[in-house]
């Protein structure tokens, strides 16, 4: 069971209550505010609760004992997830992400701290060489968070995403282990 405690947020393995909350925010919440920022150009198939739980049960670990998703909580309350998936396990390259569901937790440093804890956890507990993230040019907050954590812009694919009938660039950012190690030495938060 993973439990990473920060100043504002805790990242932990999922409980059944967390899965209920995650299902609500992904499929039941009528506003779907987070979906306006988290890949709004990717159609998401609606799953029943049973289908969702079955899919969750089949999620693989990234490495032995290293989950591909952790729940983000504040004072024990679910507010989002951090996750990762393989781009290429042969070159130790993961793609990572974060979703904060309740808008009350946007712009308060919760996501930045959670993402930093996640990147630190992955580098500290795996042999990964590179960690990346993908977003779209309309999601300026995510690009800012990634930049704050030391990720560099690696690719901008022009007009590759359509959101609300308008074209946006696809953005790829990443950080190498050597860059993370150098940055970690200069941080005051550890």
Q: With b meaning 16 or more CB within 10 Å and e meaning fewer, what string describes 29-49?
A: eeeeebbebbbbeeeeeeeee
Residue written as tokens 């709004």?
40
Average pLDDT score over the chain: 94
Between the CA of residue 96 and those of 20, 114, 132, 133, what are the distances in Å?
23, 12, 6, 5
Reported as a single tens digit per residue, the pLDDT across 53-92 is: 999 998 789 999 999 999 999 999 999 999 999 998 888 8
For 100-112, the pLDDT digits (tens) are 999 999 999 999 9
* Residues β-bridged to residue 11: 4, 72
pLDDT at 185: 84
Q: Which helix (H) or strand (E) holds 125?
A: helix 110-125
In this predicted structure, what is the pLDDT of residue 188?
59
Q: Region 153-162: what's the mean pLDDT?
A: 97
Lowest mean per-residue pLDDT among 4-13, 88-97, 160-169, 170-179: 88-97
Q: How far, in Å, CA of 172 to CA of 119, rounded? A: 16
Question: Are 94 and 87 contacting, i.e. CB atoms less than 8 angstroms apart?
Answer: yes
Using a cut of 0.85, tell me whether the model's pTM lies above it: yes
């Amino acid at each position: 069971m993973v439990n990473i405690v920060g100043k504002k947020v805790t990242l932990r393995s999922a409980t059944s209550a967390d899965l209920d909350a995650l299902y609500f925010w992904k499929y039941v919440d009528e506003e779907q505010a987070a979906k306006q920022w988290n890949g709004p150009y990717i159609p998401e198939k609606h799953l029943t609760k049973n289908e969702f739980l079955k899919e969750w049960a089949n999620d693989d670990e990234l490495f032995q004992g290293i989950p591909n998703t952790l729940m983000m909580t504040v004072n024990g309350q679910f507010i989002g997830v951090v996750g990762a998936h393989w781009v290429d396990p042969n070159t130790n390259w993961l793609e990572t992400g974060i979703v904060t569901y309740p808008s009350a937790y946007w712009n308060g440093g919760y996501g930045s701290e959670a993402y930093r804890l996640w990147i630190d956890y992955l580098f500290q507990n795996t042999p990964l060489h590179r960690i990346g993230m993908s977003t779209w040019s309309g999601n300026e907050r995510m690009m800012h968070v990634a930049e704050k954590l030391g990720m560099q812009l690696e690719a901008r694919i022009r007009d590759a995403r359509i959101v609300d009938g308008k074209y946006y660039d696809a953005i790829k950012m990443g950080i190498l282990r050597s860059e993370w190690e150098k940055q970690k030495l200069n941080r005051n938060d550890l």
